[in-house]
A and B are shown apart, each in its own frame.
Chain A
Amino acid sequence: MTDTPWPRFYVFKQDSPEAPHMNCGSVHASDAEMALLNARDVFVRRPECVSLWVAPAARVAEVTVDGLAGLAPQADDAEGQAYEVFTKAAAKGQHAHVGQIAAGSPGQALRKASETYPDGVWVWMVVPSVAIVASPEDEGQAWFEAARDKPFRHQSFYHTERLIREIKAGQLDPEGDE
Chain B
Amino acid sequence: MKDGLRPHLASYLLAMADDEMVLAHRNSEWTGHAPILEEDIAFTNLAVDEMGHAGLWYRLHSDLVGEDPESYPDELVFFREAPFFRNVQLVELPRGDWAFSMLRQYLFDAAESVWLPALEGSSYPPLAETAAKIAREEIYHLRHTQAWIRRLGRGTEESHIRLSRALAELWPYAVQLFVPDPAEDELTEQGVVPARADLQQAWMTKIEADFEASDLALPESAAPLSVDRRAHSEHLVGLLTVMQSVARAYPDVLW
| Bound-state Cα–Cα, A110 to B10, Å | 63
Residues of B within 8 A of A167 (CB): 250
Does B34 sit at the interface, judged by CB under 8 A?
A: yes
Q: Which of B38, B137, B147, B249 contacts A41 (CB 8 A)?
A: B38
| Residue with the highest number of chain B CB atoms closer than 10 Å, among A4, A41, A175 | A41
Given A1-B40, A38-B38: A172 touches B250 (CB 8 Å cut-off): yes
Which residues of B have CB within 8 Å of A178?
252
Closest beta carbon of chain B to A73's beta carbon, Å: 40
Number of A-B contacts (CB under 8 A): 77
Chain B binding surface, main DSSP class: helix
Q: Considering only CB atoms, which chain A residue lies closest to B56 in the complex?
A: A149
Interface string of A123-143 (1 = CB under 8 A from B): 000000000000000010111
A149 to B34, CA, bound (A): 26
Check if B254 is an interface residue, CB within 8 A of chain A: yes
Of B66-74, B138-146, B225-233, which binds chain A? Answer: B138-146
Q: Given A1-B36, A34-B151, A159-B254, are A146 and B136 also a contact pair (CB < 8 Å)?
A: yes
CA–CA, A159 and B255, complex, Å: 6
**Bound: A113/B191 CA distance, A:** 61
Q: Within the assembled complex, what's the spacing in Å between the Cα atoms of A1 and B38?
A: 10
The CA-CA distance from A33 to B140 in the complex, in Å, is 13
Answer whether A152 and B48 are a contact pair too, CB < 8 Å, given A1-B34, A37-B144, A41-B41: yes
Q: Is B42 in contact with chain A by the CB < 8 A criterion? A: yes
Q: Which residues 18-71 of B sit at the A interface, judged by CB distance below 8 A?
A: 33-42, 45-46, 48-49, 52
Within 8 Å CB of A145, what residues of B?
A: 136
Cross-interface CB contact of B147 among A33, A141, A142, A163, cutoff 8 Å: A33
Q: Answer whether residue A153 sits at the interface, using C-beta atoms and an 8 A cutoff.
A: yes
B133 touches A (CB below 8 Å) = yes
Q: Is the CB–CB distance between A176 and B251 below 8 Å?
A: yes
User: Does A27 reach chain B (CB closer than 8 Å)?
Assistant: yes
State whether A142 touches B42 (Cβ < 8 A). Answer: no
User: Can you name the residue of chain B whose Cβ is closest to the Cβ of A44?
Assistant: B45
On whether A142 and B255 interact (CB within 8 A), knowing A30-B151, A42-B38, the answer reads: no
Assembly CA distance A34 to B137 (angstroms): 18
Choice from B34, B36, B147 contacting A37 with Cβ under 8 Å: B147
Given A38-B38, A175-B251, A176-B251, 11 other A-B contacts at CB below 8 A?
A: A4-B35, A37-B143, A37-B147, A41-B41, A142-B139, A142-B143, A143-B140, A149-B133, A172-B250, A172-B253, A174-B249
Which residues from chain B sit less than 8 Å from chain A, CB to CB? 33-42, 45-46, 48-49, 52, 133, 136-140, 143-144, 147, 151, 249-255
